[in-house]
Structure 1
Amino acid sequence: MNMSVKVFAPATVANVACGFDILGFAVEKPGDEVVMKRKDTPGVEIVEITGDEGRLPFDPAKNTVSISVLKYLEHIGKPDLGIEISLHKKMPFGSGLGSSAASTVAGVVAVNELLGNPLTREELLPFAMEGERIACGAAHADNVAPALYGGFVLIRSYEPLDVIRLNTPDDLYCAIIHPNIEVPTKDAREILRKEIPMKNAIVQWGNVAGLVAGLLQEDYELIGRSIHDVIVEPIRSILIPGYQQVKDAALSAGALGTSISGSGPSIFSLCKGEDIAKQVGVAKQHAFAAVGVETSLYVSKINQQGPVVMR
């Protein structure tokens, strides 16, 4: 049994345009780190949080990381185990990059590692989803599943939970631009319509199927044609200043497709090759600068490994 462990878990892009609540993929950076230690006294304690500007709760019953750890310990029959948690936030809040999911996944992987890995990564998913319930009011898997498994993930069903990892082409890159504004997930959910016209639903189904087929057939053009969202993007893009200019700039610079990452305001572009991805990133930075918005840029391949255990 280990006495101390450090785990990095990656940021994720959820929805992926047409795949609202059912598609997500992991990127190489940014991400969050959790350091976990055994302690002699019983109970889970958060001893340190950095990078959150004092915004996250230290109460173990209210923090996404500790809640997942508590559920995990309950499940394996060791509810009174003494554990100290340090959380290091290395990514922005309300960014649409799965910030809470990265922390939560780092936490459940760390506690599992600390105890000698009694559960598989797949078996850890329900505990990570409990952290999401606290963070955004619903136990979604489209951020936590790719953060936990790595790669590109399809959630076919929630009841019962049925998660499929999709293969992706080797040269598929993602350029993510994060404007320095915040869009809380709850707000971004509340503005969505509860009903959608049949004709929009049909367009969306076609694009989801096209995107999955494009990934599996390594058909970059098909991937690009399918990254098209007629249901959520038209509404949520209103919350992001300069959205259309940024999207146009990305497509002009050679992106296969561009849309909102998660609930925004980050904007992702899938690209063929690293060079194009870097050009697309710069084009998006210029477009945001033109409307007076400061940004951070992240360019990476699809992250196939997910969380990394660093002893």
Structure 2
Amino acid sequence: MGTVAVVATDGMLHFELSVACEVFGSAPAGVDVAWYDVEVCGSGAVQVGRFRLEPDRGLDRLARADTVIVPAWADVDEDPPADLVDAVRAAHEAGARVASLCTGAFVLAAAGLLDGRRATTHWAHTEVLAARHPHVEVDPDVLYVDNGSVLTSAGKAAALDLCLHLVRLDHGSSVANAVARRLVVPPHRAGGQAQFVAAPVPSRDDHPLAALLPWAAERLDQPLTVEDLARQARMSSRHLGRHFRAATGTTPLQWLLSQRISRAQELLESTDRSVDSIAEATGMGTATTLRRHFNRTLGVPPDAYRRTFRSRPAASLGDGHRHRQF
């Protein structure tokens, strides 16, 4: 899928840089697709966190990359280097897809790439980003924002979510899931999920939602209601809502909708089932309802989503297909 240029310059953090190199550096076992050619680019030897690093290429290489990843910027009180800002801007003007991880958004903002766009960064720095760059619509409550050729993520784990999102855009859900399995992380978290929740995953067997979530996920074809979920969990609807908000950062109905949309994406990617059939299989009822929610959530109707997959060669793992960004 072309060249991924990962920026490395003094003042960047090693975690997000490592995440990008890990996700894009090699194809997961059993996947036979054209993988990324990763290059670490910077202006000579740099200090990345506590480590000294010698980049593969200079910053001028960004303008010839297909995707540019800008890792987290350590000191948001300092302006990023002018040569880095210029190189990122030139890459975007040359047609590269540019993505920032965590506070790397400050570099994109300095390059003018976020003006008039919705963007995010680590929740602790969203107010600073908004104050310094008033033309950027800063959203502090999401994991990542996909604007097509410009993408931004929140901190740490959300950087991994965005990188997996890019793999999903390029290769389809089957390949992205294979990468996630290799990394032992959840395969897909929607960008609109909240950045901070008190208990992101009900990890204990005795958690009130530990059995309910998989139970509901296996019954997406059924017209589940909040009352159905509450009855299965043996609690009131109000009590269930509090547990959902604490564990997932969203409401039971919003969680159900996101699961239905995700399942619809998988079926559109991997089967030839009609939109009516997929609507029934995901509990949407009718194709009209599925199209409305799908378009509202992803910004593209299910028919166009499927055509995008069918326009590129199929990946060999499962039935996933490559697709472009929306």
- TM-score over 0.5 (shorter chain): no
Structure with the higher fraction of residues in helix conformation: 2
| Greater length-normalized contact order (CA 8 Å, ≥ 6 residues apart) | 1
- TM-score normalised over the length of structure 2: 0.31
More strand by share: 1
- In the superposition, the TM-score normalised over structure 1's length comes to 0.32
